[in-house]
Structure 1
Amino acid sequence: MSGHGDDEVHEHDRGLSHDLPVLARRRMIRLLAGAGAGAALVPLVGCTAEEGSSAAVDCAAVPEETAGPYPGDGSNGVNVLKESGVVRGDITRSFGDSAGGTAEGVPLTLTLTVVDAGSGCGSPRKGAAVYVWHCDREGGYSLYTDGVTDENYLRGVQETDERGRVTFTSVFPGCYAGRWPHVHFEVYGSLRDATGARAIMSTSQLALPEDVCETVYATAGYERSVDHLARLSLESDSVFRDGHDRQLAAVEGSVEAGYSATLTVAV
């Protein structure tokens, strides 16, 4: 497994239209597996953070997106989900037998709220699970990119609480060639499913606002991201260009104090 260069665009990270045949096969496999376990495959829908659970009419589907070439869920080589220690809130450090490194960058707290689509996004989904992963400030992915293949930071799983929430402590991801700054996530029906790397309910991506990205990338350590971001827009990004209303996180904070990003997702 090798890392990506500054100007390389990955075949597996071009968006749903490019990955549709692969995704179709994966969804069919999951459906069959879920049927065997007596579980139903439920489509993922979601709301922006501003909408939350207040307006049932706005409870619309979150686009199914590519997991990209670096999921770490067993679908492309390594499977971090079955490793002891992956269930955690702070994903800035590696765990287990890996190198034990720490991802550096501007602090980011990421909160996803999982709610029930059947109630019009009005009821929290307690006991679901979310797996998140994203690149480091230099655009590399742990487990895959040259230089950090022995690390597993910026990956973690959380079980939703009574309010349907999961919260991760991380760092602001960088911007690499060809992709708008984003965070990957997979939603599972339970923590057992997540740590067993089975029955993924849906896979999507969270987009980060342009103004916040520009501010963060002006700080030390994010130099590579400045030029990459200047060549991109949400409207031209291979994943978000078909609409990002349901995927754009609400972000507050500052470089000095850190940022918080929130998004509500209904299943």
Structure 2
Amino acid sequence: MTRRKVILAGGAAVAAVGVGGSIAANAFAGETDTADRKSGAESCYRLTSETTEGPYYIDADKLRRDITEDKEGIPMVLRLKVIDAETCKPLRNAAVDIWHCDALGIYSGYESLSTGGGGTPPSGAPSGAPTDQPSGAPTGAPPGGGGGGGHEEPTDDERYLRGTWKTDKHGRVEFRTVFPGWYRGRAVHIHTKVHVDGKWTDAGYEGGHTCHTGQFFFEEAAVIASGKVAPYSTSTTERTTLTEDTIYDQSGTTGGLLKLTYGKGRIAKGVIGSITMAVAPDETHDSTDTQPGASASTAS
């Protein structure tokens, strides 16, 4: 058993506020998700893939659903459901962490270590965004350091695009954020952890254990569409595609592939991402260094 404590920022949980965009604005309206409409047809017998925690996890210190802060990007609502893989029953009051990079591939808490980039290219580099951006594979090896499950200590006090919230009686939890960007060596993704058997107090969430550590992934069409929208379009960082990613196990929803909803040709207005996670609440999965691919040094 491990002890975790979430400190409420400002002494109160942050209620969701508007992030703009007609799609994202309605995403907290409490619609019934697809899994509920399937009348028992949930794929709850296959555990959602465990993945490496990555080097940039910070034991959750922001209890909130809106993790955007002042970061620019395409508005996104992440709608999650957590169920017991054996019984199919929803996990109530589980603590769900999410964290991801910003539109230019930078992680809060690790700005000096992040490998993303954008804006004005360095001297001698081609000007403007690549004409086929963000398609194509990296031309060099991914950067070393911070790969696998190795943890890096934070280098700054920023905490944007990080948050923890509890599941309701239906096992649901929703976050407001922005569509993540990309950085060298990894496909676009969001990190997650699910904690159970702890206690919610006025101070936050304490005790319990981590029953799932995973990542969510994005279909290529949506990533390419996002690359046409500022600030993503200013990125000068080469991109790894979903099929080239060494963490994603290519198993679709089981591997963390999100279902994305957005208007065709209007992704800038907002995106809804949804998925049901089937977990084993009695097991402990803090992290893992086991990856589908051969590269254990890929940035995570």
Say yes or no: TM over 0.5. yes
For normalisation by structure 1, the TM-score amounts to: 0.67
Whose RCO is larger (CA < 8 A, sep 6+)? Answer: 2
Shift of 1:56: 5.3
Larger radius of gyration: 2
Structure 1: how far apart are the matches of 2:43 and 2:159?
Answer: 40
Indicate which of 84, 87, 95 corresponds to 1:116.
84
Instruction: Give the whole-Å Cα distance in 2 for the aligned partners of 1:178 and 1:51.
Output: 33
Q: Is the 8 A contact 1:188 1:200 kept in 2?
A: yes
Identify, as 1 or 2, the structure richer in helix.
1
State the one-letter code of the partner of 1:255: I
Q: Aligned runs of 1:22-101 on 2, under 5 Å?
A: 33=2, 54-55=40-41, 59-73=45-59, 81=60, 83=61, 86-93=62-69
Please state how far the C-alpha of 1:146 moved relative to its aligned partner.
2.2
Residue 161 in 1 paired to residue 168 in 2?
yes
The number of aligned residues is 200
Q: 2:241 aligns with which of 223, 233, 236?
A: 233
| TM score, norm. by length of structure 2 | 0.60
1:212 Cα deviation from its structure 2 partner? 0.8
Structure 1 portions without partners, runs of 5+: 1-29, 35-48, 74-80, 94-101
CA RMSD of aligned residues (A): 2.6
Q: 1:248 to 1:225 in 2, by over 3 A?
A: farther
2:259 matched to 1:259?
no
**2:224 is matched with which residue?**
214
Q: Distance in 1 between matches of 2:207 and 2:57?
A: 11
| C-alpha distance 51-60 of structure 1, shift in aligned 2 (>3 A) | farther
Q: How far does the alpha carbon of each residue in 1:101-155 deviate from its partner, in whole angstroms, 9 at most, with x for none?
A: x211110100110112222x2x221111100000000101001112993310100
Alpha-carbon distance change, 258 to 242 in structure 1, aligned in 2, over 3 angstroms: closer
Judge conservation of contact 2:67–2:177 (CA < 8 Å) in 1: yes
Q: Distance in 1 between matches of 2:170 and 2:66?
A: 19
Deviations 1:175-224 (A, max 9, x none): 11010000000001156388347621110000011111111111111135
Percent identity over paired residues: 34
Distance 1:242 1:213, change over 3 A: closer
Aligned residue for 1:143?
109
Q: Please tell me whether the aligned partners of residues 108 and 259 of structure 1 are also in contact (alpha carbons under 8 angstroms).
A: yes
> Is structure 2 residue 158 aligned with structure 1 residue 182?
no
For 1:142 and 1:197, how far apart are their aligned partners in 2? 25
Contact residue 142 and residue 149 of structure 1 kept, 8 A: yes
SS at match of 2:271: strand
Q: 1:225 to 1:111 in 2, by over 3 A?
A: farther
Render the CA deviation track for 1:15-49: whole Å, top value 9, x for unaligned. Answer: xxxxxxxxxxxxxxx5xx59xxxxxxxxxxxxxx8
Q: Is the 8 A contact 2:93 2:171 kept in 1?
A: yes
Structure 2: gaps spanning 5 or more residues: 4-32, 114-154, 280-300
Are the structure 2 counterparts of residues 108 and 226 from structure 1 closer, same or farther at C-alpha, using a change threshold of 3 Å?
farther
